[in-house]
Structure 1
Amino acid sequence: MTEELLENGFLERREPVIQGRGKPSPRLAVNPAGAYGFGVSVDTNTVETVWVDLVGNILTQTRIDVSPNDPEAVISAAYETSTSQRETLGLDPARVAGCGISTQGFRVSRENRFTTPQPLDNWTGFAIEDRFSQVFGYSAYAENNGTLGAIAELWSGAGKTHPTFAYLSFNYGFGGGIVLNGQPFYGFNGNAGEITDIYLAEEKVNRPALQFLIRALCDNGIDVPSIDVLKSRFDPDWPGVAEWVRRVTPALDQMVRSLTAILDPAAIVFGGEAPPALRQMLIDAASPRLPDRYGRAVPSPALVQSQIPADPSAVGAGIQAIRRRVLNQI
């Protein structure tokens, strides 16, 4: 098996390391150039793309100047970007595993079509995989952005030390992803991680969704028209930020404790589009677990920030193409 993987370019030989007496054995490692995946993340106000290699290294990251709510324009621009960047990087077309697409929303059936948030309503019911595959000429894999953020963490972040974790995706809405024993968990309808559904209708306005933070900032005279501006200009001292964190903390605690009690994860990762400083404020405010009725401490997960340097859902989308095509993992 090892010789076959070497011959096919998925493994490479490394120089042996001398330790003690005797001839050292050759070392083997995954060959980063063994496969490549192209990831596209369609968020409410931006479209981000990445190329990743077989070990999850980010080769390029690009923002496409196109309306996120225009599927055909997104697909056309993404194809042009992927082609030009593949040629610039000198990537072997035969090594391209496929394209992964991150979208927001939930599946209404076991078919891979999504009901998306209002700012992306043109993607609702759209045949994402079929259309991307037709244009790109190779396999395409669509998935919810929260699950793809968790997959990025699995390969390149928290998953290296925490085999079971929950991923919180702070975006226009509030979603998540689940990794159990080193494998992403999708659920029967593919909607595992749709964590906002735990809240009643009257509670949802107080969940930690960034749309409500933007509204609070505007009410305080801070000009933040989009999540993109929030990410690039965020200041923890803006009027309205601390009050919003206090307002959403009960809903955040409810979610963190629910995930802790049901999954018993090693970690809960705070990710998505929230700026790092805001993620840290939410971590500091959260209470992972209460003592039992006798006041005894119960083990709690680590609350950690995502360390993915690019758009986590775009990175996860590229990795997903490699997982599905090369490793035959669901």
Structure 2
Amino acid sequence: MSYTPRHLIRAPFLRGGRNADVASRNERHLLSEIHRKPGLARAELISHLDLTQQSVHRLVETLAERGLLRIGDPVPPKGRGQPSPAVFLNPDYAYTLGISINTDKAGVCLMDFAGGHDTLTIDIEGLNREPALDRIEEAVAKLTTSSGRSEDKLFGVGFAIAGYHVTGTQYNAPLPLQDWSLIELGPLLSGRFKAPVWLENGANAAAICENLMGVGRHLSHFAYLSFNYGFGGGVVMNGKLLRGAHGNAGEFSGMFDNENNYKRPALELLIRRLNENGLSITSVDRLKREFQPDWPGVADWMDEVVPNYNRMMNAICAIIDPQAIVFGGEIPRKLAEMFIARTEWFNRPRYGIARVVAKPIISEIERDASAVGAAALPFTSEFFRGS
């Protein structure tokens, strides 16, 4: 039997019997609206949902009784009518843990049900899987203790790893993470953390975070570029993560053949070029913290990479037509600005009118977006209308 985290959800979170969901379809719709607009008046929910007033009132009451919602003070109506109570997600209902694995760092995030979160970053460079997990468990214990959360409120764990999805809960990660690759991570991690675990690749998890807390608050269609040791990405369409048939939609490195694979915007390749030019940059984290545009080797590397970068940018626009292309992952801001300045659109006007193209945007999310997105994954998977 294939691994699925839903079978491991603890009974107190379920609506009914053993095979029940945590929320019905209508409850998920209502929770999604409140998640998107905290403090929305109960009366306003009716205009956002295809439900009667009585149904909305009943759903709110039921969810409040279960502890998922908090009822606030009455909100004055925008027009005629009586004041209606504000409705909020209850942050104390449950929490999740998010873990992201990169080649040199791991991010750990604790997120409450209302989306409040705290993060830690730990060094795992050179560590195999088990010693790295030991360090991650120490960070989890630190976050849980400092937040005052009890284990019985842990709904689940979201886990994100750099690399592409293969099958089941197996991922194919970069060489420094070979010990994590091509094994069933779901059962392994569920046993380790004594909780259901939802898995995603790191770039998709970062795109989920961007969708919830970044440009997704204003835009419904965007591509997310994840500049890390390798290079990947994610796609959000109609406000939801597009995973594709095999879980690898947005795996933009797949556009490059063997020859051009070494001329793609992966930060590993830039680090290699910098070291060839006499600098000692040992990790992606150090590159992000210390990057300078005038370092020897940067200009030459950009000249080699930009033609492939421009083909990729134009392919993204031609295929998915997003409103924006977000530069995220671990790219230094100054390097992202260099790429954006050299973006060339292959836009051939017709009758004097050119196609509208995506706007390049640098992500404003400073904390580990993959860890935050991973922490959101159990909630978006089970309580809301998708990621």
Comparing 7-16 with 194-203, which one deviates more in the overlay? 7-16
Q: Secondary structure at the match of 1:27?
A: strand
Q: How many residues align?
A: 328
Residues 254 and 6 of structure 1: CA distance in aligned 2, closer, same or farther (over 3 Å)? same
Q: Any idea what SS the aligned residue of 1:99 has?
A: strand
1:34 counterpart residue number: 93
Deviation at 1:209, TM superposition (A): 0.5
Residue 231 (structure 2) aligns with? 174
Q: Deviations over 1:221-250 (max 9, x none)?
A: 222111111012112232222332232111
Per the normalisation by structure 2, the TM-score is 0.79
- Name which of 195, 205, 211 aligns with 1:138: 195
Q: Please give the per-residue CA displacement for 1:286-307, whole angstroms capped at 9, x wherever unaligned.
A: 2345233655321111211112
Distance in 2 between the 1:144 and 1:106 partners? 6
Aligned to 2:35: none
3-state SS of the aligned residue for 1:236?
A: coil
Match of 2:261 in 1: 204
Aligned to 2:113: 54
Q: Which runs of 5+ in 1 are unaligned?
A: none
- Conservation of the 8 A alpha-carbon contact between 1:253 and 1:287: yes
Indicate the residue corresponding to 1:267 in structure 2: 324
Out of 263, 272, 282, the residue aligned to residue 339 of structure 2 is 282
1:28, 1:93 → 2: CA distance?
26
Equivalent position of 1:14 in the other structure: 72
C-alpha distance in structure 1 between counterparts of 2:303 and 2:85, whole Å: 56
Q: What CA distance in whole angstroms lies between the structure 2 residues aligned with 1:213 and 1:273? A: 13
Q: How does 1:40-119 map to 2 (within 5 A)?
A: 40-59=99-118, 61-67=119-125, 69-109=127-167, 111-119=168-176
Structure 1 residues 289 and 55: CA distance shift in structure 2, 3 A:
farther
CA contact (8 A) 1:56 1:155 kept: no
Paired residue secondary structure (2:143): helix
Identity %: 37
Aligned-partner Cα distance in 2 for 1:322–1:202: 41
Deviations 1:85-141 (A, max 9, x none): 2122012433322111111222233x1201111111111112211111101111112
Structure 2: distance between partners of 1:221 and 1:239: 8
Give the alignment's TM-score, normalised by structure 1. Answer: 0.92
Q: Which amino acid aligns with 2:207?
A: A
**For the structure 1 residues 84 and 248, does the alpha-carbon distance in structure 2 shift closer, same or farther, using more than 3 Å as the test?**
same
Contact 2:71–2:87 under 8 Å retained in 1: yes
Q: Look up the match of 1:159.
A: 216
Task: Determine the structure 2 residue equivalent to 1:224.
Answer: 281
Specify every segment of 5 or more residues in structure 2 that has no aligned partner in the other structure, as ranges. Answer: 1-58
Give the Å deviation of 1:284: 2.1
CA distance in 2, matches of 1:10, 1:286: 46
RMSD: 2.1
Equivalent residue for 1:245, pick from 291, 302, 308: 302
Distance 2:379 2:234 in 1: 19
